[in-house]
Amino acid sequence: MGERVVIALGGNAILQPGQEATYEIQLENVRKSAEVIARIINNGHTVVVTHGNGPQVGNILRQNEEAKHVVPAMPLDVCSAESQGFIGYMMEQSLRNELLKLNNQAPVAVTLTQTEVSADDPDFQDPSKPIGVFYSEEEANKLAEEKGWIVKEDAGRGYRRVVASPEPKSILGSKVIQQLSEAGTIIVAGGGGGVPVVKQADGTYKGIEAVIDKDRSGFKLAEEIKADTFMILTDVENVYVNYGKPDQKALTEISLEEAQGYVDEGQFSAGSMGPKMEAAMNFARTGGRAIICSLDKADLAMEGKSGTHIVG
Ligand SMILES: Nc1ncnc2c1ncn2[C@@H]1O[C@H](COP(=O)(O)OP(=O)(O)O)[C@@H](O)[C@H]1O
Ligand SMILES: NC(=O)OP(=O)(O)O
């Protein structure tokens, strides 16, 4: 039977480290992702796609800062909204085109989503979210000094600028996303984690400068719209124990208890697999099906034939 599945697309699905961030390269990456997602839809599932924006929002922020003497610079929450629009445009068009190739007429829509966070979140004091391009340690330190950036090492892949990444508390408008999804519409939502907003004393919302982790917001979205499955797509086929060591072992199906044991052993790096495992385990705790798998084999993973499955 068809399931309602939230798919969180990793940064690699839009731009791989080292690739030039041209429109053409990003569109082709998105098209390839859409090809796999279209197969899942064509197998009878209703998909809500959510995606990262780290490279894109970093580049948009930089464009704003470099051109601020010509055009006023926009704050980071507005850059986040711009990145959602940009990636949502590529994703909607690519999904529709790939579905058409399969003679599938499923309706596709993008919702520009806001995500509530707390202004008191500790990440505002010690930012952790890498955005934009990668630098050598030397280049990164020079930029930090010149521009007042905070830079950190990103999961062994180089140095990047970091910004605050508060924990998502709720997805604004998730009811509408749920209704559309229950009616069979394919939705792109919560892109880049959603635009971060805070609730004010009078109940109104306003933007706050941060970038939310899309695996954490993807879990919130999957929970709030009561999805059957939450699937995190990345560039490795499985989650591994002793990852990168000669005795690394692929995990195929693990219980929450087993997963917690590996978390306690420190098996999952903070800047990469850690947040994915945290999000997948949180969803499994709600009784749903949680999968971490490679983008290329997402359709197989959906049928239980690939990836790491965490069961509650
Ligand atoms: N235990 C582990 N098992 C599998 N991959 C791991 C593990 N620990 C760290 N990783 C790394 O996590 C990466 C995926 O995280 P990340 O690059 O942040 O994903 P994405 O950009 O796709 O969201 C993999 O490419 C791998 O190098
Ligand atoms: N917002 C976010 O998590 O982006 P990346 O996945 O690109 O880091």
The pLDDT tens digits for 27-56 are 999 999 999 999 999 999 999 999 999 999
Cite the active site residues.
Answer: 11-12, 129, 214, 276
DSSP helix/strand/coil, 180: helix
DSSP 188-219: EESGGG-EEEEE-TTS-EEE-S----HHHHHH
Mutate which of 214, 272, 278 for ligand 2? The one with the most ligand atoms within 8 Å of its CB, which is 214
Question: What value, to the nearest 5°, has the Cα angle with vertex 284 and ends 282 and 285?
Answer: 65
The pLDDT tens digits for 183-197 are 999 999 999 999 999
Which atom number of ligand 2 is nearest to the Cα of residue 14? 7
For the segment 241-249, the average pLDDT, to the nearest whole number, is 95
Q: What is the pLDDT of residue 269?
A: 87
Residue 145 has pLDDT above 90, yes or no: yes
- 88 CA to centre of ligand 2 in angstroms: 14
Closest ligand to residue 294's CA: 1
DSSP 205-258: EEE-S----HHHHHHHHHHHTT-SEEEEEESSSSEEESTTSTT-EEE-EEEHHH
Say if the ipTM goes beyond 0.95. Answer: yes
For the segment 116-130, the average pLDDT, to the nearest whole number, is 97
Give residue 228's pLDDT band: very low, low, confident or very high (50, 70, 90).
very high
The pLDDT tens digits for 156-193 are 889 999 999 999 999 999 999 999 999 999 999 999 99
Backbone angles phi, psi at 262, to 5 degrees: -70, -35
Which atom number of ligand 2 is nearest to the Cα of residue 131? 8
Terminal-to-terminal C-alpha distance of the chain: 21
DSSP 50-114: EE--HHHHHHHHHHHHHTTTTSPPPPHHHHHHHHHHHHHHHHHHHHHHHHHHTT----EEEE--E
